[in-house]
Amino acid sequence: MTEKNFKSGFVAIVGRPNVGKSTLLNHIMGEKIAIMSNKAQTTRNKIQGIYTTENEQIVFIDTPGIHKPHNSLGDFMVKSALSALHEADAIWFVVNANEERGGGDDFIIERLKEITSTPIYLVINKIDLVHPNDLLPIMDSYQNALDWSEVFPISAKSGVNVAELVNSVAQRLEVGPQYFPADQITDHPERFVISELIREKILQLTGQEVPHSVAVVIEKIERESEQKVQISATIIVDRPGQKKIIIGKQGSVIKEIGIRARKDIERLLGDRVNLTTWVKVEDRWRDKPQALQTYGYSEEDY
């Protein structure tokens, strides 16, 4: 393919929390670049997955789930998600096949109506969880809400129709530059990805309340030898009780967090890793502008 025929563009993936946007991105990329959890509001920052072939480069923007915010961190997440609508060449609005259309979906649809010239796809995820007969009413409930460019029922988990979805948006791309090297899969530095992998393990191992109060800061990444890397991380929570939960009885929980995170980090880096973690309490950090900026949730990021 000659350079003048190379296509490129940006695709924003938006939706309510827990509709499987991160699972979809990871499936397209063939490896984990966005963390996954069965808890809502897992994604906090816009995460770009860079998909490059001989013919095109598509930058997929996985956005935080759009929800009613209850603190400054929530405000940041929603603004970050909505900002992606205005920087994309195509938009995928992801909904769940096993949930009825609700107020949160309608809120997003109203924002999508403000986008006049960008192709907007309705992506109905988790079709593996419903009977085919139950899929039609869900599709009908969205059919007339917007003039969709395409409607794609998919399963991000199993991959059903995902390749077809990617091919469809690729065909709509215009001739453009290759923004990133062909072997680069995300725009985020390793430090960010490592902090997200640790936060993912906290989401997996703690209850419903703790995860939304957690931030992870990588204090140090230092090579000890040719094959071993030393990483130090601080886990921030906003109440002493949450610190106790994360540490666990005789340190059992934080030990398991470290074991699981280290395995993923070693796969990411291709090196042995020595991971050290501490837990720090900072009261109401999610409503402190300075803390949000320090922990990576700055308005400069959207």
Q: What is the pLDDT of residue 166?
A: 96
Report the alpha-carbon angle 94-264-285, nearest 5. 70
Residue 292: what residue type? L
Average pLDDT, the chain: 83
pLDDT, one tens digit per residue, over 245-266 is: 999 999 999 999 999 999 988 8
pLDDT, one tens digit per residue, over 11-40 is: 999 888 888 888 899 899 887 776 544 444
Contact status, residue 141 vs residue 105, Cβ threshold 8 Å: no
pLDDT, one tens digit per residue, over 43-94 is: 445 677 899 999 999 999 887 666 455 455 555 555 666 666 777 899 999 9
Residue 127 C-beta-side C-alpha neighbours within 13 Å? 21
Contact status, residue 245 vs residue 278, Cβ threshold 8 Å: no
Name the pTM for this structure: 0.66
Question: What band does 224 get if pLDDT is binned at 50, 70 and 90?
Answer: confident
pLDDT, one tens digit per residue, over 167-196 is: 999 999 999 999 888 888 887 778 888 888
